[in-house]
Amino acid sequence: MLRDFAWWLRPAGWPALPDAVRGRVRALACVAIGAQVLFVAGWIIAGALEPGYSPVRSYVSELGRRGAAHPWIFDVSVVVWGAGFIALGVALAPALRTRRWAWVAPALFVIAGVCAILDAPLRLDCAATISHLCRARETSGSLSWREYGHVWASFGIELSLLLTPFALARSLWPGRLARLVFLGAVIVASALVLLAGLGGWVGAHSPYGWHAGLWQRIWLMIVHGWVLICAAALMLEASHGWPVGNPPRAPGLDEVLAPQT
């Protein structure tokens, strides 16, 4: 049933993957999924070992700050996470080889991966979510260049990943799958805007700052889900046994209303 639904969503005229790349695409998709799992395991373990750490109010990257109990755990997990994005981008490229904007979505995943890897050496100086002094120094620009580099690299991850579904929808357009991806992207972007507004309101009324850890983890859940969907779709695309020909066309409104004879 899943294969039938995927075939129905598949754009008309989309050629099957060459046999020579199927194994590589499946392997890279598995790497992308595994990287998400290892990243989550990394911040859970590091958070449990960090005295006084709260996943509700503290950023994940604060586990790798200077003075953290075990910053290497964050460093390793975020590098693996970035490698997973790069693997997904490389796996996506052959599947889009005949589409418009074929390179954009894969390139965005690769950019997100590079920015994630850069977060490891660009170590935070302190925890701005729990230290008023750190927050004041950050606002005044008196922290190290690595701190601000980390902030910009994290912004690069978010922006790149947010643009991937729109780029992918453009590559797949027209078709059912393109419309589904675009609709999902609009819904997620709208939800993130609402969450950002809610996070700002909570931050203004909370003695613990922004509850940044909670909002970041909601965003990470969305990212993990998106990567899982893309990787699963690529694994299905790389499997054998697709029917020959174009997917069935959904009947138009005029055909549905036409009298049956």
123-166 pLDDT per residue, tens: 888 887 777 788 788 777 788 888 889 989 999 998 999 899 99
Residues 66/124, Cβ–Cβ less than 8 Å:
yes
CA angle 50, 42, 118 (to 5 degrees): 100
Does a structural domain hold residue 175?
Answer: yes
The residues, any chain, with a CB within 8 Å of residue 23's CB and separated by 6 or more, are 238
Does a structural domain hold residue 198?
Answer: yes
Lowest mean pLDDT among 92-106, 210-224, 247-261: 247-261
pTM: 0.82
* 9 band by pLDDT with thresholds 50, 70 and 90: low
Token pair of 90, please? 């490389």
Q: How confident is the model over 192-198, as a mean pLDDT?
A: 62
* 255 band by pLDDT with thresholds 50, 70 and 90: very low
Does a structural domain hold residue 215?
Answer: yes
Instruction: List the alpha helices (DSSP H) in the chain.
Output: 2-9, 19-49, 71-95, 104-118, 132-140, 145-172, 176-204, 212-237, 253-257
Does a structural domain hold residue 261?
Answer: no
Does a structural domain hold residue 250?
Answer: no
Does a structural domain hold residue 72?
Answer: yes
Does a structural domain hold residue 2?
Answer: no
Q: pLDDT tens digit string along 97-119? A: 888 888 999 999 999 999 999 99
CA distances 25 to 44, 153, 161, 181, 235, Å, are 29, 27, 20, 21, 7
Which domain, by its residues, includes 83? 19-239
The residues, any chain, with a CB within 8 Å of residue 229's CB and separated by 6 or more, are none
Residues 178/172, Cβ–Cβ less than 8 Å:
yes
Does a structural domain hold residue 214?
Answer: yes
The number of residues making up the chain comes to 261
252, pLDDT greater than 50: no
Q: How confident is the model over 45-65, as a mean pLDDT?
A: 89
* 250 band by pLDDT with thresholds 50, 70 and 90: very low
Count of the separate structural domains present in the chain: 1
